[in-house]
Amino acid sequence: MTTFRGATYEASLDSVRLGKQLKTVAALMLDGRWRTLRDVATTTGYPEASVSARLRDLRKRDYLPGVTLESRRIQGGLWRYRLVPLSGYQQQDLGLL
């Protein structure tokens, strides 16, 4: 089970919302395509700040241990990201279906 943390986190207010965001962002990103925060935000309908936070969550192995988040600088402060499943993992193995 995903456990979110932070000084402003309140489980009763945030758990379901953040869990849904994490699942949606992860499911989108698991195709291995490179995307900017704007690309993910446009596709999911979540604000870029929320997408950025969920990508940071996905960097932590306790949120989705079967993947690696890769990032590359495009230019200046613009980055692109992709999720790469570890060898042998499928989307259903990661609990996203």
Report which residue type is found at 23. K
Residue type, 38: R
Q: Which has more pLDDT, 92 or 52?
A: 52
- Do the Cβ atoms of 83 and 30 come closer than 8 Å? yes
SS3 assignment, position 84 = strand
- pLDDT tens per residue across span 78-90: 999 999 887 766 5
* Confidence class for position 73, pLDDT limits 50, 70, 90: very high
pTM of the entire predicted model = 0.83
Contacts of 14 (CB under 8 A, 6+ apart): 4
Q: What is the pLDDT of residue 20?
A: 93
Residue with tokens 């600088």: 73
Burial of 45 (0-12, 13-18, 19+ CB in 10 A): exposed
Asked if the model's pLDDT at residue 92 lies above 70, the reply is no
What per-residue confidence (pLDDT) applies to 45?
Answer: 98
Give the mean pLDDT of 36-41.
98
Alpha helices in the chain (DSSP H): 11-29, 37-44, 48-59
